Structure 1
Amino acid sequence: MRVVNHAWFFDVDGVITDLQMKKTDPKIFAELIKRLEKGEPVVLITGRSLDWTTKNVLKFLISLVPDEKLLDRLIVSAEFGGVLLKFQNGEKDIFIDRKLVAPKNVLEKFKEIVENDFYDSMVFEDDKLVIATAEKRDNYPLKAFREAQTGLVDKLRQLMDVEKVHGFEVHADSIGTNIRHKNANKSTATKKILKWLAQKNISVSNFVVIGDSLFDLEIGLKLQAENLDFKFVFVGDRKMIKEQNLPFPLTFTRNLYEKGTLEYLTSHQTSKT
């Protein structure tokens, strides 16, 4: 069993990437690589597709890693744990959890609803392998999107009732609306990451989670349920958690979102494991 000081869990949108530009500050990549070089696992947990995450994050990170074998310490959980990307000697190994795949007929009707009734405000994401998502169009006003999203959620719930779909749910977040399996969430994703660590015979002394939304808190709740030591760094808008009665403390940064991530990483260097 190899003991490491830390394992680092990150959301992607607003934590690794800029919410508007969808790009990552190269300084964040440099900090992630420092941790990989120290032998510490780096985990990305997102609702995004693996294709999107690869194009917008991974291809840049991989190009900067000095030794591909360092990637063996990296794992990506996409689509809320429905798709996992691991590395073995620098080679990709992709796992798709078929138990979480949404029914094809429901996905087709979801896409039809978006393209017929919400084309101006949303785009259906064709690159998802497990869940179905309609994302806010770039530059579409957020307030107008919220109103449109409410209408879409109602239509999707009606669709689920008509199709008698069981075990799945309509899930809305800040930029998208999903139909996903009830076990497709960041708690399930965290469970799978812990299994991966066990398979690699890695024992983690302390976990660090950096997130910016209420859904990221599921990671902390799962770690707490497993009686693991962790610190949760919240880099999002504090207003959204103001009335949350959490069973664990939060650490805040002066800067918000990806700038808060960089602030925390640069001010908390770890020794080589």
Structure 2
Amino acid sequence: MQHMKERLGEGVVDEVYFFDVDGVITVPDSRQFDREIMEDIARRLSQGEPVILNTGRSISWIQTRIIARLIHAHNLKDNSSLANLFVVGEKGGTWLTLDEDGLMHEHRDDSISVPQDLQDEVRLVVEERFPKTMFFDRTKHTMISVEMNEVNDRRYEGELSLEAFERDQIRLVEVLGEILKKRGLDKILEIDPTTIATDIQNKKVGKDFAARKAIAWLEAKGFKSERFVAVGDSKSDLATAEELHNNGYDVQFVFVGAESDREDIQRGNPVFPIFFPEGKFNKGTVEFLRRKTSQVL
């Protein structure tokens, strides 16, 4: 398969970054954005470099929490800079592009949506059995997401932690598995527990499915690069790097997640380089970005 350098236009960049969002550019417990990481993203966009956000989040959440922040908190008001950002939401079910005039264009793949009555059943389970640690995300269009409540939510002050969520998440996954099996949907839908959420999604979607949309966008925009970096905090994020590698690209995966997951990834003997920062989650992302900056200097 041809390398990107041979088949794209003239928009040469040193590296293309793929970032997961939660736990990678945000603090897992508080969901607050890491300012240093956001400034790095804003700098790359303003320098004409493409940045890909590959997340399970909804497009509406990305618009209000990330793009608005880039514009107002990080002074990224040049529309041509924002046009270098590509967001894949719901693990490939939705995606967002911005044009040179700063207009946002939302896209959705309705063929992979989950049944409405299943959404209703899961919402009731969450509201009745796990209200102190998680909530049903009503902003999703093509998947179901049950997300960890924010630690700074005063309703659950002193009762909520990442550990408490993880305990309830184990129980939730068991319940969801029973629901899918009872409905005969376990052949087409799957459960994906991540750092701060539990998703029910079509088996077609995933970080690899989303990465293919990003690759198509890069080609359409005329970007080319010899190096790619994918940053994630869950084992499922490894699929981003695998998809890039399978398409013939030189990729490095940066894993900033839990120690137990790091061991699983290493046992898988990946065929591309993986960097494990000492820091976890957003601290690991900052550590890697600083390391890259010092190498350039």
TM-score (norm 2): 0.84
In structure 1, the gaps of 5 or more residues are none
1:100 offset after TM fit, Å? 1.6
Q: Is the 8 A contact 1:214 1:240 kept in 2?
A: yes
CA distance in 2, matches of 1:5, 1:260: 22
The secondary structure found in structure 2 opposite 1:242 is: helix
CA distance in 1, matches of 2:259, 2:182: 39
1:116 offset after TM fit, Å? 2.2
Q: Deviations over 1:110-133 (max 9, x none)?
A: 112212222233211111111111
The secondary structure found in structure 2 opposite 1:40 is: coil
Q: Deviations over 1:179-219 (max 9, x none)?
A: 11111210101011001111112222211112222111111
Q: Is the 8 A contact 1:23 1:56 kept in 2?
A: no
The aligned residue for residue 82 of structure 1 is: 93
Amino acid paired to 2:51: V
1:85/1:20 CA distance change after superposition, 3 Å: same
The aligned residue for residue 237 of structure 2 is: 216
In structure 2, which of residues 252, 275, 281 is the aligned counterpart of residue 251 of structure 1? 275
Q: Is the 8 A contact 2:195 2:233 kept in 1?
A: no
Amino acid paired to 2:283: K
The question of 1:67 aligning with 2:67 is answered no
1:91 offset after TM fit, Å? 1.1
The secondary structure found in structure 2 opposite 1:268 is: helix
CA distance in 1, matches of 2:122, 2:32: 29
CA distance in 2, matches of 1:24, 1:147: 25
1:25 offset after TM fit, Å? 2.9
1:262/1:93 CA distance change after superposition, 3 Å: same
In structure 1, which of residues 9, 13, 18 is the aligned counterpart of residue 27 of structure 2? 18
CA distance in 1, matches of 2:264, 2:29: 27
The aligned residue for residue 191 of structure 1 is: 212
What root-mean-square deviation, in Å, do the aligned CA atoms of Structure 1 and Structure 2 show?
2.0
Match runs of 1:96-245 below 5 Å: 96-139=108-151, 140-165=160-185, 166-244=187-265, 245=268
User: Deviating runs (4+, > 6 A) in structure 1?
Assistant: none
Larger strand share, 1 or 2: 1
Mean CA deviation greater in 150-159 or 95-104: 150-159
Query: Between the two proteins, what is the percent identity of the paired residues?
Result: 31
The secondary structure found in structure 1 opposite 2:83 is: helix
Q: Is the 8 A contact 1:43 1:76 kept in 2?
A: yes
1:143/1:156 CA distance change after superposition, 3 Å: same
Amino acid paired to 2:290: T
Q: Is the 8 A contact 2:28 2:195 kept in 1?
A: no
The aligned residue for residue 155 of structure 2 is: none
Mean CA deviation greater in 80-89 or 134-143: 134-143
CA distance in 2, matches of 1:258, 1:52: 19
The aligned residue for residue 265 of structure 1 is: 289
1:38 offset after TM fit, Å? 2.5
Q: Is the 8 A contact 2:194 2:234 kept in 1?
A: no
The aligned residue for residue 106 of structure 2 is: 94
TM-score (norm 1): 0.91
The secondary structure found in structure 2 opposite 1:85 is: strand
Match runs of 1:37-48 below 5 Å: 37-48=46-57
Amino acid paired to 1:57: I
Number of residues of Structure 1 aligned to a counterpart in Structure 2: 271
